[in-house]
């Protein structure tokens, strides 16, 4: 069986976004044609992104603006996957979150209280608003043994201007400062 024949038996596709489907505000060559083929052949697809800095609605809006009408139900971010996991295991927990305002909103929508003292869980996400104060507090909580979750392991996020440091780089920073790795890393390629 050829590769094309094998692909014809696949019912659904999980698609990456940043640097694979688009880069910055530009669709990559062949992206729309590929989705057209999937739809023509009635194949399911879901966009997955390790980028936890935005809500899935924002990603659906971006892809729609780039020329592919898309609903947010066809997007899953590592931030949402982390919130869903934590909600299933520990609904309503107090969370110290290192993340963007969009990720904070996502966690609040899932019923979490975001706190700066006495957290039950730590969540490290892709944070373009990162400050030294946030990193210092995170390291103090990690040293104190608070359960620690990272949204994904990527060291870099591809952009039109090159690569931007991502959560994996922050995990390395925290490990260097605390000698502790996250208890759980959620995003691709992990199975959660």
- pLDDT greater than 70 at residue 4: no
Query: Percentage of the chain surpassing pLDDT 90?
Result: 77
CATH topology of domain 78-185: Rossmann fold (3.40.50)
pLDDT confidence of residue 6 = 76
CA atoms within 13 Å, Cβ hemisphere of 133:
2
CA distance 21 to 66: 11
Assigned token pair, 138: 């995170």
| pLDDT reported for residue 18 | 86
pLDDT of residue 3: 67
- Global pTM value: 0.90
The beta strands (E) that lie in 84-134 are given as 94-98, 113-114, 121-124
What pLDDT does 190 receive? 84
Residue 122 has pLDDT above 90, yes or no: yes
* CATH, domain 3-77, list 3.90.1640.10, 3.40.50.1000, 1.10.10.350, 3.40.190.10: 3.40.50.1000
Q: Is the pLDDT of residue 134 over 80?
A: yes
CA pair distance 152, 47, nearest whole angstrom:
15
Give yes or no for a contact between 44 and 12, defined as CB atoms under 8 angstroms apart: yes
The pLDDT tens digits of the residues spanning 5-64 come to 777 788 899 999 988 899 888 899 999 998 998 888 899 999 999 999 999 999 999 999
Domain boundaries, the chain: 3-77, 78-185
3-77 and 78-185 share one fold: yes
pLDDT-wise least confident of 33-47, 68-82, 97-111: 33-47
Burial 80-94 (b: 16+ CB within 10 A, else e): bbbbeebbeeeeebb
Mean residue pLDDT across the chain:
93
| CA–CA dist 105, 100 (Å, integer) | 9
Q: Tell me the average pLDDT across 66-70.
A: 91
pLDDT tens readout for residues 139-176 = 999 999 999 999 999 999 988 899 999 999 999 999 99
């Amino acid at each position: 069986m050829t590769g094309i024949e094998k692909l014809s038996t696949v019912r659904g596709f999980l698609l990456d976004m940043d640097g694979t489907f688009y880069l910055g505000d530009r669709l990559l060559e062949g992206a729309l044609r590929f989705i057209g083929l999937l739809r023509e052949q009635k194949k399911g697809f879901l966009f997955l992104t390790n980028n936890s800095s935005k809500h899935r609605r924002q990603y659906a809006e971006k892809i729609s603006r780039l020329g592919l009408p898309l609903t947010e139900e066809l997007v899953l971010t590592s931030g949402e996957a982390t919130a869903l996991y934590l909600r299933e295991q520990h609904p309503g927990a107090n969370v110290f979150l290192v993340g963007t305002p969009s990720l904070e909103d996502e966690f609040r929508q899932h019923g979490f209280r975001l706190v700066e003292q006495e957290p039950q869980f730590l969540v490290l996400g892709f944070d373009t608003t990162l400050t030294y104060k946030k990193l210092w507090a995170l390291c103090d909580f990690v040293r104190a043994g608070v359960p620690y979750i990272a949204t994904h392991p990527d060291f870099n996020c591809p952009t039109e201007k090159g690569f931007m440091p991502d959560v994996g780089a922050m995990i390395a920073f925290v490990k260097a400062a605390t000698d502790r790795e996250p208890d759980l890393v959620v995003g691709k390629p992990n199975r959660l």
